[in-house]
Amino acid sequence: MPPFPAGCVWLVGAGPGDLGLLTLQAAWALAQADIIFFDALVNEDVLRLAGGGAEFVFVGKRAGCPSPKQSDITALLVSAARKGKRVLRLKGGDPYVFGRGAEEAQGLVAAGTPFRVAPGVTAGIGGLAAAGIPVTHRDVNQSVTFVTAHDASGGLSQKLNWAALAAGSPVLVIYMGVRLMREIGASLLAAGRAPDESVAVVSHATTPRQTVLRTTLERLAAGDAPGAEAPALIVIGRVVDLAPVLAPIAPALVEA
Ligand code: SAH
């Protein structure tokens, strides 16, 4: 395993939820870290892998409160590293997938703070696999497009070219899209995707609360997605049809 020197920051992906999907590198870093800054989407069971003396700092968004500013989080990381601590920044999924991890890394570089990134299993790939949805299949798609539905304003991103996405992306995996499902559905229909195209909404992937809702684009556009709740991924495309075949054959998870 790579060394985790004092005064260094590790940006670590915690995976989509299931503790078993944490990487060995992440577990190794957790065991050594002096201080751990973690997000709302991180499974807090993961923190039990930390050493006895580790300090924990929640830097996610709490209900009703604005999320901490990115520059403030970076400043906390830099300041802890300058005190000679081993600093672990734990983020849900993969740190560089729609999680502003790259912005934090840029901030560390700008401050001259040594850092390393430990990639994680992103929800839009591993979370879907766990729900029986492969992001590629040779008979279905030669490409897959990952999309974040909203921009900084919280509305449907104006930067997205829905006509191009509709024409060129056989499979779309949409992060942070539940609140905007009507707009997403309407945009794709307007751009020519078939109303009966398969859609899945996978909520709480890889956790005991995982649900997989299968529907169509037309029903998505009508907001007809009972039980869909954040965090969730919306998948549009024929790979969704494989879910009934590929849903894992395993005993249901039983709480100990
Ligand atoms: N860096 C993370 C994504 C952060 S953006 C990653 O690589 O997975 C947050 C979005 O990720 C959520 O709005 C949701 O769309 C998705 N997400 C994260 N964890 C999820 C989970 N367990 N189930 C479904 N979606 C999840």
| pLDDT grade for 255, boundaries at 50, 70 and 90 | very low
The residue among 156 and 36 whose pLDDT is bigger is: 36
Q: Would you say 18 and 124 are in contact if contact means Cβ atoms under 8 Å apart?
A: no
Look at residue 215 and give its three-state secondary structure: strand
Residue 152 has pLDDT above 80, yes or no: no
Q: Which atom of ligand 1 is nearest to the CA of 96?
A: 1
How far does residue 99's CA lie from ligand 1's centre (Å)? Answer: 9
Provide the b/e sequence for 3-25 (b: ≥16 CB within 10 Å).
ebeeebbbbbbbbbbbeebbbeb
Tell me, what's the pLDDT at 250?
62
Question: Is pLDDT larger for residue 125 or for residue 247?
Answer: 125
Give the position, in ligand 1's atom list, of the atom nearest the Cα of 176: 13
Average pLDDT over residues 129-152: 94
pLDDT at site 63: 65
Tell me the torsion sign for CA atoms 247, 249, 251, 254. negative
User: Residue 112 is encoded by which pair of tokens?
Assistant: 């001259």
Residue 19 reports pLDDT greater than 90:
yes
Label residue 256 by pLDDT band (50, 70, 90): very low
In angstroms, rounded to a whole number, what is the distance separating the alpha carbons of residues 154 and 167? 25
Told to judge if 176 belongs to the known catalytic residues of this protein, a careful annotator would answer yes
pLDDT at 102 over 70: yes
Examine the residue annotation and report whether 72 is marked as an active-site residue of this protein: no
The contacts of residue 185 (CB under 8 Å, 6+ apart) are 199, 217, 218, 219, 220, 221, 222
DSSP secondary structure string for all residues of 64-89: TSPPPPHHHHHHHHHHHHHTT--EEE
Q: Which pair of tokens denotes residue 213?
A: 């809702």
Our answer on whether the CB atom of 99 is closer than 6 Å to any ligand 1 atom is: yes
pLDDT over 70 at 252, yes or no = no
Where does the pLDDT of residue 155 fall: very low under 50, low under 70, confident under 90, or very high at 90 and above? confident
If you average pLDDT over residues 85-107, what whole number do you get? Answer: 96
In the predicted model, what is the mean pLDDT of the chain? 93
Confidence band for 253, pLDDT divided at 50, 70 and 90: very low
pLDDT score of 235 more than 60: yes
pLDDT band at 41 (very low <50, low <70, confident <90, very high): confident
- Cβ–ligand 1 distance for 101 under 6 Å, the answer no
Catalytic, 181? Answer no
Given a cut of 80, whether residue 67 has pLDDT beyond it is: no
pLDDT given at position 99: 85
Residue with structure tokens 């999907």? 21
Nearest-angstrom CA–CA distance, 117 and 109:
12
Per-residue confidence (pLDDT) for residue 147, from 0 to 100: 96
Whole-prediction pTM: 0.94
